[in-house]
Amino acid sequence: MAKREDLIAKLCRKPEPKNFTTRELDLLMKKRGKNMNSMLEYKGYHASVEYDAEDDILVGEVFGITDSLNFHGRSLDEIKKMFQQSIDNYLELCEKIGKNPDKEFKGTFNVRISPEIHKKAALEAARQKITLNQYVAKAIAQSFEIKEEARR
């Protein structure tokens, strides 16, 4: 395994090397204040990025919309630029053809759970005199509160 200093030297070279391992890419993203699990954001749209070792490129996919928007690049700067370009092109095309662009997170989604969990959740919602939707929304909100408390 390479020494930490060697990895950092490789990550800091200009131009950036193209033959990153996943671990090295993760270190580079962290060095730049990003987490590999972070999503890019532009004009209210989000995208995930992964490294494709076979083609030696970064591949991105816009998240949370039904239309398929994908992009790629060979460097972190290029992948960001291509993401922004794909969003701008998408919005321009939608305007040109008179289509409302998809928006992320409309506030509705389907949840697939076992019949047993479904029954337990519905019965608990009834006990609390709230709808199943309200119960699920409350449970999700509470899960984020627990995570925020754990970070403190």
pLDDT, position 109: 78
At 111-136, the pLDDT tens digits run 899 999 999 999 999 999 999 999 99
pLDDT, position 8: 52
Handedness of CA 147, 44, 39, 60 (dihedral sign): positive
What is the percent of the chain with per-residue pLDDT over 90, rounded to a whole number? 46
Task: Label residue 1 by pLDDT band (50, 70, 90).
Answer: very low
Is the pLDDT reported for residue 148 higher than 60? Answer: yes
The domain spans of the chain are 4-97, 115-151
Asked whether 45 and 104 are in contact (CB, 8 A), the reply is yes
- pTM for this predicted structure: 0.57
- CA-to-CA distance for 139 and 130, rounded, in angstroms? 12
Is the pLDDT reported for residue 13 higher than 60? Answer: no
- CA-to-CA distance for 135 and 147, rounded, in angstroms? 19
Asked whether 42 and 87 are in contact (CB, 8 A), the reply is yes
At 17-63, the pLDDT tens digits run 455 555 565 566 566 555 445 689 999 999 999 888 888 899 999 98
User: Higher pLDDT residue, 96 or 22?
Assistant: 96
